[in-house]
Amino acid sequence: MKIRNQRGNEKNELNMTSMIDIVFLLLVFFVMTFKVVELEGDFSVRMPLGESGGVPDPTDLGLKLRLRSDSEGHLAGMSLNDADLGTNFDELRARIVSQLGSSAPGEDDEGPEIEIDTDYNLRYENVIKSITAVSGYKDGNGVVKLIEKIKFAKPRR
């Protein structure tokens, strides 16, 4: 009696195990290294040596922002040219807008300059908030620019 070889009828299936192993390894790698990217931008400050806390230019508006901190580094108060503004950055922005209203920069002029004089232990976040307030504000989808030249006074130890 002849018994036929049944192997010829079997389906020829690929072994997927190793491919699935590698695919899962790749997946785990990408999941582990995945990080949500936060968009970042810069406030550009051009500050050559000698200009921080240097002799003020008599032709500019002479804007000087003083930031004071409490013992824990929180903002205790601020003043623009000795005018007290409390801790309200909107008030600061309004003052800047009113100051600039009568002195719009010319086309070739870079605009007024502001010097930021901050207490040493004030949290940096407050400095950025003040720079944001004096730099401009959002108007719909656009940005209205106010002061683009910013410099720092000498650090207060």
Whether 130 contacts 92, CB under 8 Å = yes
In whole angstroms, the minimum distance from the beta carbon of 14 to other proteins comes to 11
Q: Is 111 in the site for other proteins (CB under 8 A)?
A: no
Q: Is 18 in the site for other proteins (CB under 8 A)?
A: no
Binding residues for other proteins, how many (CB under 8 A)?
56
CA distance 134 to 95: 9
Q: Is 62 in the site for other proteins (CB under 8 A)?
A: no
Whether 63 contacts 114, CB under 8 Å = yes
According to CB under 8 A, which one of 12, 15, 44, 59 is a site residue for other proteins? Answer: 44
Q: What Rg, from alpha-carbon coordinates, does the chain have?
A: 31
Q: Is 139 in the site for other proteins (CB under 8 A)?
A: no
In whole angstroms, the minimum distance from the beta carbon of 40 to other proteins comes to 5
- Torsion, Cα 47 106 96 134, to 10 degrees, reads -40
